[in-house]
């Protein structure tokens, strides 16, 4: 579980604390607690739920700490807004959707996957072509191949992914 969720949990924590190094420490603390307390889980959903909730709480505890307050000056109201259920749900859904999309993209041929990752970063076809030193038509053709291959892989997650991109404007 560490290998598959560590990066996502770090990004999730970073959305609270705005510091990747601190986020990594907080996530490691959560995994260490599981190890030390020998916590066992019934299934993958229980593990993910526990981890995201623990990382959220650890991140909020960090924000509430006197060390953070003395250096960052975040107000109690700002910290409370991060504690709202909608913020937490949005971040978990975004991380889960990103993970599913990345898993699907990893099934594509290398060049095709590279083009899709750049496309997700909102680069235009022309920008992608320049960056990869290929023609715009090749970019378009590779995207067409990618969409054809990704559609069946992500069809069960379409509502989930749409929720991410349209619910939190």
CATH topology of domain 101-169: Arc Repressor Mutant, subunit A (1.10.10)
What is the domain partition of the chain in residue ranges? 1-83, 101-169
Q: pLDDT tens for residues 8-26?
A: 888 888 888 888 899 999 9
82 — pLDDT class (breaks 50, 70, 90): low
Does the model's pTM come out above 0.75?
no
Q: How far, in Å, CA of 75 to CA of 136, rounded?
A: 48
Cα-based angle 62, 21, 38 (whole degrees, multiple of 5): 65
pLDDT at 168 over 50: no
Most confidently modeled range among 27-41, 72-86, 148-162: 27-41
Angle at 125 between CA 124 and CA 126, to 5 degrees: 90
Question: What is the predicted pLDDT for the residue at 163?
Answer: 52
Taking only the tens place, the pLDDT of each residue in 48-81 is: 888 888 898 898 888 877 555 554 555 656 656 5
- Considering only residues 130 and 40, tell me which one the structure prediction assigns the higher pLDDT: 130
Whole-angstrom CA distances from 99 to 40, 56, 83, 129 are 24, 18, 23, 26
Mean pLDDT of 134-151: 89
User: Once rounded to an integer, what is the mean pLDDT over residues 21-38?
Assistant: 90
């Amino acid at each position: 579980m560490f290998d598959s969720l560590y990066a996502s949990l770090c990004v999730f924590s970073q959305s609270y604390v705005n510091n990747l190094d601190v986020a990594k420490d907080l996530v490691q603390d959560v995994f260490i607690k599981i190890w030390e307390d020998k916590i066992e889980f019934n299934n993958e959903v229980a593990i993910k739920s526990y981890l995201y909730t623990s990382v959220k709480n650890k991140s909020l505890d960090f924000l509430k700490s006197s060390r953070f307050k003395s250096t960052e000056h975040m107000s109690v109201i700002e910290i409370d807004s991060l504690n709202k259920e909608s913020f937490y749900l949005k971040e978990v859904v975004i991380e889960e959707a990103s993970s599913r999309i990345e898993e699907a993209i990893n099934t594509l041929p290398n060049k095709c996957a590279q083009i899709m990752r750049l496309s997700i970063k909102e680069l235009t076809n022309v920008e992608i072509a320049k960056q990869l030193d290929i023609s715009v038509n090749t970019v378009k053709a590779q995207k067409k191949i990618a969409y054809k291959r990704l559609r069946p892989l992500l069809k069960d997650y379409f509502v989930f992914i749409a929720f991410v991109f349209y619910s939190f404007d």
